[in-house]
Amino acid sequence: MKSFIDAYSAVNLMFLLKGLWITVEVSVISIVLSYILGGILGFVRYMRVKYLSAIVGFVIDLIRNLPLLLIFFFVYFGLPNLGLRIEILPSSVLALTVFESAMLAEIIRGGIESIPKGQMEGARANGLTYWEAMRYIILPQAQVRMIPALVSQFISLIKDTSLATIIMLPELMYHAQIIYGQNTNYIIPMFVALAVMYFVVCYALSLLSRYLEKRTRIQ
């Protein structure tokens, strides 16, 4: 019991919270970026543009089928070969964005495709242009359907930030490892703290998604 009290000293908790802050920061930036990029890529796939969609689809498939750890290595070790120094934090964001936007692209494409063709035809028949129909009829419906899948992908992204310890991103997992590496009595308290902190962040997000789902359904 004593090890728990010692382990959660103010200094250690501050250090963990600093790590949590990096985790949240990296997650939020990557979520926003990968939602935008994933949306564009998903749309390109949906549009079935000649050649382009096929190429984009193939690249997406390549990325989706690789372990995220490899993507971290390719970005952090590979990109600077082009002549730009890229620090740990932006590398992590970039790697997560590349990986997750490939995952999101598939979700978004599937979401748009799940709206029956009749919706578009009906809207066009009522005088809307293709883009108006997309904007006001198809996308809002697709968005509602996609919420659960999108949010569970965002939760995966938050959890995946822990893999960035491999390139020394000073996030929550890494900070916990530093604490228990210096005093191995703190191993269990640190694992408890890790589980609680990750759970709180991820669960909060899934509660938010449930709330959103309910609200959009009522509308």
Partner 1 sequence: MRKILKSVALVFSLMVSLLVLSSCGSKKEVKNTNAWTQAQKTDSLTWGVKADTKLFGLMNVKTSQIEGFDIDMAKALTKKMLGKDAKANFVQVTSQTRIPLLKNGNLDAIIATMTITDERKKVVDFSNSYFDAGQSLLVKKGSPIKNVQDLNKSGTKVIGVVGSNSVENIKKFAPKAQVIQLQDYAQALTALKSGQGAALTTDNGILFGMAVDNPNYQVVGKAFTKEPYGVAINKGQDDLKEHVNKALKELEKSGEYNKLIEKWFGNIAGFDYKEVER
Partner 2 sequence: MINIVSSHSSELLSGLGQTVLCSLIALFFSLIIGSMFAIFEVLPNKILQTIGRIYVEVVRNIPLLVVTMFFYIVIPQYVVSIDGFVAGTIGLTIYTSAFIAETVRAGIQSVSGGQMEAARSNGMSYWQSMRYIVLPQAFKIVIPPLGNQFINLVKNSSVLAFVAGFDLMYVGNDIASTTFDTINSYLVVGVMYLIITMPLSYYMRYLEKRTNRGAA
Give yes or no for residue 162 binding partner 2 (CB under 8 A).
Answer: yes
Position 198 contacts partner 2 (CB under 8 A): yes
Shortest Å, Cβ 168 to partner 2 = 13
In this structure, what DSSP letter does residue 87 have? Answer: -
Q: Which residues of 189-198 are buried (b: 16+ CB within 10 A; e: fewer)?
A: bbeebbeebb
Q: Which of 150, 148, 164 minimizes the C-alpha distance to 38? A: 150
Contact pick of 138, 151, 194, 209 for partner 2 (by CB under 8 A): 194
65 binds partner 2 (CB under 8 A): yes
CA atoms within 13 A on the CB side of 135: 5
Q: Does 21 bind partner 2 (CB under 8 A)?
A: no
Q: How far apart are CA 157 and CA 188, in angstroms?
A: 25
Out of partner 1, partner 2, none, what residue 8 binds, judged by CB under 5 to 8 A for its kind, is: none
Separation CA 173–CA 161 (nearest Å) = 9
Q: How far is CA 211 from CA 10, 197, 205, 217, in A?
A: 35, 21, 10, 10
Q: From residue 203, how far is each of 155, 195, 198 by CA, in Å?
A: 8, 11, 8
Residue 68 binding result from partner 1, partner 2, none, given CB thresholds of 5 to 8 Å by partner type: partner 2
203 near partner 2, rule: CB under 8 A: yes
- From the list partner 2, partner 1, none, pick the one residue 188 interacts with, judged by a Cβ distance below 5 to 8 Å according to partner type: partner 2
Which of 9, 21, 52, 78 binds partner 2 (CB under 8 A)? It is: 78
Residues that bind partner 2 (CB under 8 A): 61-62, 64-70, 73-74, 77-78, 81, 152, 155, 159-160, 162-163, 165-166, 173, 187-188, 191, 194-195, 198-199, 202-203, 206
